[in-house]
Amino acid sequence: MRTKTSTTPLSRAELVSLSNDIRLACMRISRRVRFESDRELPPHHFSVLARLEDTPRTNSELAEIEQVSAPSMKRTTSALVEAGYVARADDPTDGRQVILSLTGEGRKALRRIRRHRDEWLLARFETLTDEERELLQQAAAVLAKVATK
């Protein structure tokens, strides 16, 4: 990969290659953070806990957000209820619905798993040079900008 200055733009082919490299690197990091940093919960269970962190939701709402079937979400939330991470309550306005919310244990699990994920990534960053960490700091700002467009 050749280094470009701000006065020499990347060609279309170089941009395609860069986008592929960045996409793959982000996917690999995301996958490894999810699967190697914690063994407590499967990633899809963690995702549901995170969706319940700020507001209680129904199974239907969670299924739509997570883009899974209603029966699949019901199995996931039932496992989380059984584990003590999620509580069920009847919807006061619609007797057909159940409202799901995090328990204290669910909140603790979220904090614990996030801490493990941060520690896993931090351990990798500690092996980098100061220059590599500075470059990552700059890249993080650029990637955040890309993610918001």
pLDDT at 52: 98
Q: What is the DSSP letter of 84?
A: T
What 3-state class would DSSP assign to 99? strand
Angle between helices 104-125 and 43-52 (to 10 degrees): 120
Assign 69 a pLDDT band (cuts: 50, 70, 90): very high
Token pair 């159940």: residue:
98
Q: Supply φ then ψ for residue 19, to 5 degrees.
A: -65, -40
Domain membership of residue 8 (yes or no) is no
Q: Say which CATH number the domain at 74 has.
A: 1.10.10.10
Closest alpha carbon to 49 in 93, 123, 105: 105
What 3-state class would DSSP assign to 53? coil
Domain membership of residue 3 (yes or no) is no
Task: Quickly list DSSP for 100-113.
Answer: EEE-HHHHHHHHHH
Report CA dihedral (10, 11, 16, 17) to the nearest 10 degrees.
-70
Domain membership of residue 37 (yes or no) is yes
Assign 6 a pLDDT band (cuts: 50, 70, 90): low
Domain membership of residue 4 (yes or no) is no
Tell me if 110 sits within 8 A of 53, measured CB to CB.
Answer: yes
Domain membership of residue 1 (yes or no) is no
pLDDT at 4: 52
The predicted model gives 138-146 an average pLDDT of 94
Q: What is the count of structural domains for the chain?
A: 1
Domain membership of residue 7 (yes or no) is no
Distance CA 120, CA 36 (A): 8
Show the domain range for 140: 13-148
Q: Is the pLDDT of residue 2 over 60?
A: no
